[in-house]
Amino acid sequence: MRLYLELAKKSFQNNIVYRADYFASLINAIVLIFVNIAIWKAINEEEGALGGLQLNILITYIVISFLMQTVYQMDEYFIEGKVRTGLISTDLLKPFYFRLFVFSYNVGSMVFKFIMQFIPAMLLSVFLFRLLPPFNTQMLLYFILSAILGYLVLYNINFIVWISSFWFYWTFSLVTIKDAAVMILSGALIPIWFMPTWLIDFIELTPFNAIFYTPILIYLGMMPEDEIFMSIVKQILWIIALFGIGHILWKRATKKLVVQGG
Amino acid sequence: MRNSGFLESLNVFYQYSKLSLKVMLEFKLDRSMITLAIFCREMIAVVVMLLILARFLHIRGWDMNQLFFLYSFLFISYSLFVFIFAGVRDFDQLVHSGEFDRYLIRPRGLLFQVVASKIDLPATLGHGVVGVILFMNTAFSVGITWNMQNILFYISVVVGGAVIQASIFMLTACMSFWAIRIENIRNLIFFNARRIAGYPISFYPAFIQKMLIFIVPFSFVNYFPAQFFIRKEDMNLFWDGFMYMTPVVGVVMFVVVSLFWRFGVRSYSSSGNALY
């Protein structure tokens, strides 16, 4: 356990070094939030367009969603890089579980982004966009739990895609297509409740709404309390299922690992 | 050697293109997958816009066809830009790897070599297909009569838009001559500006409008040309002359940046770490 904490700490410190990247992605998040809010405000001007839903709620949705996206950004080419350079063969020999190593690496930078980007941007948003606070303290706690589970859902989806680098030399295309699916179907860019019913029904069958949508609904207090329990159970089930798929793929991948030169 | 003529240059360009194409055909599956991936990535914004409009029908008097027509300019001109200027887009890598030194000793113009040596077909097609889909679905339903005059203006506007984007990239490419790395900031500014320009700039606060007109002139890539064709009310916010200025802005930016480029080449000293 201490070993993995240490690895996460290293990854955290690694992030501090790249200051330009840090400011770039912070500004990026703020600009995107700002632009999206401008668009939603324009939509809101058509009278009653938002169906009585307060603009404030929508703005809060957008802000939380974009901030979560910033924090949930992972190093998509970490495993690919290891496979391509052949470093993975020595990593596999080291006395740790490779998958836990990758996980701690990502958690380290997630914690960094949470402290250094999420919190400042959140405070800024309270002033800039009049962000609504969580519905109540209880919902805040549920939100934190659900957000952590959302991260794990996304992580396990990502892991399945990353593992494909054992079969394909480059994973850029798969990663990008996966990103497109996540961005649209997770409700990250437009709240799922605005989508047509057939699409909502489809999304219900996928793990995508368990990433951002569930935690944000809880934050906003838009999910009835009896549904919260079910949604969280659903998140956990998806984590187990996706982890299972990842596990099987991993077993196969390590069996057929071919390192090209190194 | 330098004055060996236009035809000679054209021949070199042809040879370069043939080589790039051969490289591409070597990895057919991979490059097709990349094209598909870029297509999907670019479709994100389109699908989101579609979902919003399926629900709300129009935003500030702009309906779906008009908004997609506006959007199509961004894709088509970017596609043209990448097709011709992919070398400029990736110029910083050329300098950092030391590869650029080889260009200096060849008997051809530098800019010509940079432009000719690289073709990024996946990006061209990925963006181009999105652009053409949007254009074909909207161009005949937003009330434009496609007479000769309009067609010529459309072409000049798309070329102008491509040149504007090329100039922005060349400007940052010039920074590489002084070993200043600003790719991150450039991408931040360029792609955010592009994303902002996806919707009519009249939706945004005044300072963002000013920025897209005077600093990162993306409004000349799509908003003002689209206004020339479909003339919405919100054009009253801006000076009418802007609608015709896209080609002018393109030419002026290109001339200024070319001068800057020459200045940059003169003060270039190699990074001295050739990787190849």
Mean pLDDT (chain A) is: 88
What pLDDT was estimated at residue A49? 59
Instruction: Report the complex ipTM.
Output: 0.86
B97 closest CA partner among B276, B233, B221: B276
What pLDDT was estimated at residue B3? 53
What pLDDT was estimated at residue A53? 66
Does residue B224 fall inside a structural domain?
yes
Question: Could you say which DSSP state residue B274 is in?
Answer: -
What pLDDT was estimated at residue A260? 58
Q: Has residue B8 got a pLDDT over 70?
A: yes
Residue predicted with more confidence, A255 or B76:
B76
Residue of chain B with shortest Cα separation from A197: B55
Residue predicted with more confidence, A46 or B32:
B32
Chain B residues close to A169, C-beta within 8 Å: 30
Q: Has residue B56 got a pLDDT over 90?
A: no
Cβ contact B34–A173 (<8 Å): yes
Per-residue confidence band for A28, with pLDDT thresholds at 50, 70 and 90: confident
Structure tokens at B86: 């992919």
B44 in contact with A, Cβ within 8 Å = yes
Residues A38-80: tens digit of each pLDDT: 888 888 877 565 655 678 888 999 999 999 998 998 988 888 8
Structure tokens at B1: 């050697």
A223 closest CA partner among A145, A130, A156, A129: A145
Chain A interface mutation, best of B55, B195, B202, highest count of A Cβ atoms under 10 Å: B55
Residue predicted with more confidence, B172 or B32:
B32
B205 in contact with A, Cβ within 8 Å = yes
A49 in contact with B, Cβ within 8 Å = yes
Does residue B11 fall inside a structural domain?
no
Domain count, chain B: 1
A128 in contact with B, Cβ within 8 Å = no
Residues B98-133: tens digit of each pLDDT: 788 888 888 878 888 888 888 888 889 999 999 999
* Angle made by CA atoms B156, B158, B159, in degrees to the nearest 5: 65
* Beta bridge partner(s), residue B59: B62
Q: Is A76 exposed, middle or buried (0-12, 13-18, 19+ CB in 10 A)?
A: middle
Domain enclosing residue B75, as ranges: 17-266
Chain A interface mutation, best of B27, B48, B201, highest count of A Cβ atoms under 10 Å: B48
Residues A72-107: tens digit of each pLDDT: 989 888 888 888 888 888 888 888 888 999 999 999
Cβ-defined contacts of B23-31 (< 8 Å, 24+): B24/B119, B24/B121, B30/A169, B30/A170, B30/A173, B31/B121, B31/B122
Q: Which residues in B121-154 are b (16+ Cβ under 10 Å) and which e?
A: bbbbbbbbbbbebbbeebbeebebeeeeeeeebb
Does residue B2 fall inside a structural domain?
no
- Residue ranges of the domains in chain A? 2-256
DSSP, residue by residue, B185-247: HHHHHHHHHHHHHTS-GGGS-HHHHHIIIIIS-GGGTTHHHHHHHH--GGGGGS-GGGGG-HH
Q: Has residue A261 got a pLDDT over 60?
A: no
Of B34, B58, B59, the CB nearest to A172: B34
Q: Has residue B1 got a pLDDT over 50?
A: no
What pLDDT was estimated at residue A50? 63
B196, B189 Cβ separation under 8 angstroms? no
Give the distance from CA B173 to its chain's centroid.
14
Per-residue confidence band for B276, with pLDDT thresholds at 50, 70 and 90: very low
B85, B113 Cβ separation under 8 angstroms? no
Cβ contact B199–A39 (<8 Å): yes
Per-residue confidence band for A127, with pLDDT thresholds at 50, 70 and 90: confident
